[in-house]
Structure 1
Amino acid sequence: MSWQPHITVATIVEDLGRFLLVEERADGRNVLNQPAGHLEPDETLLEAALRETLEETGWEVELTAVTGIYLYTAPSNGVTYQRVCFAARPLRHHPTRALDDGIIGARWLTREELEAQSAHWRSHLVARCIDDYLKGERFPLSLIRVA
């Protein structure tokens, strides 16, 4: 049996104390997550983060830092995900842009508003990534290298 982790990206976009989140349908329920998704073939991690954020929220962003790299095994399916989380600032919104399938919409929430909806988090990484961001975890984008 071969084992292979799934490489994913996520983006923490903060504006005036609110965080850009995605409400999406997953495993038969509505959940909240950062703009996030899988790395595609021939794509860099930075390109994936920009693409996923735009596709899931309609927002163009500028990546500013890496906030963390996380390894998570989902209890629902046993799949292991490696998540590279980026900090970003919002640049431009495209409100008429069609969002990815399964996406209900983008939501701007404070950390407190997010906590009040903890039963709807896609995983504990939703809060963990924001909390690391709020603690000041910032690593230069140059940490990500393409060989």
Structure 2
Amino acid sequence: MTERWTPHATVATIVVKDDQFLMVEEWSNGQQVLNQPAGHIEQGEAVIEAAERETLEETGWVVKATGLLGLYTYTAPSNGITYHRYCLIADAINEVPNATLDEGIIGPQWHSIESLRKANNLRSPMVLTCAEDYLKRKHYPLDLIIEHP
């Protein structure tokens, strides 16, 4: 029997404050890379909960999801895994002082779109695509995400 192909369900969060994007500097495959706060959706977890949780765990920022930017797919050449990314938009509520961040996280950073366009260490092409889409695309209501318990 052939093994069934299974993509990885992930979330990413676009948080913008004073025209700066909240980013995460992290280690990936031995390299320092920039990414939006992002990660896997855990079993039984809602998409919105996952996005807010990952943002807190990777940046120390409490956020509130306000919209859906889009759905993105990417197959990483380094491991052949296809990632299905729900990219949400969120407001920054407050930063948790001395928050313990996930393993492999160097720390949060704020970047302008120009800085992201010039960066040569983005974790995947989805990083810049999501930032650019935030600036030019319609933002969708969260109620487009329908989850049945």
TM-score range, shorter chain: over 0.9
**Structure 1 residue 137: deviation in Å?**
2.6
User: Structure 2 stretches of 5 or more lacking a match?
Assistant: none
User: Structure 1 stretches of 5 or more lacking a match?
Assistant: none
Residue aligning to 1:7: 9
1:23 and 1:103 in contact (8 A); partners too: yes
How far apart, in 1, do the equivalents of 2:71 and 2:147 lie?
16
State, as a whole percentage, how many aligned pairs show the same letter. Answer: 51
Q: Specify the code of the residue in structure 2 equivalent to 1:76.
A: S
For these two proteins, the number of residue pairs brought into alignment is 146
**Structure 1 residue 136: deviation in Å?**
3.2
1:63 to 62, 65, 87: 65
1:68 and 1:137 in contact (8 A); partners too: no
The TM-score, its normalising length taken from structure 2, stands at 0.96
* Corresponding position: 1:139 with 2:129: no
The TM-score, its normalising length taken from structure 1, stands at 0.97
Map residues 1-147 of structure 1 onto 2, 5 A cutoff: 1-117=3-119, 119-147=120-148
3-state SS of 2:100 partner? coil
1:23 and 1:31 in contact (8 A); partners too: yes
3-state SS of 1:137 partner? coil
Q: What is the alpha-carbon root mean square deviation over aligned residues? A: 0.7
Runs of 4 or more, structure 1, over 4 Å off, are: none
How far apart, in 2, do the equivalents of 1:136 and 1:63 lie?
17
Q: Specify the code of the residue in structure 1 equivalent to 2:121.
A: H
Offset from partner CA, 1:12-67 (integer Å, 9 cap, x none): 00001000000000011000000000000110000000000000000001111000
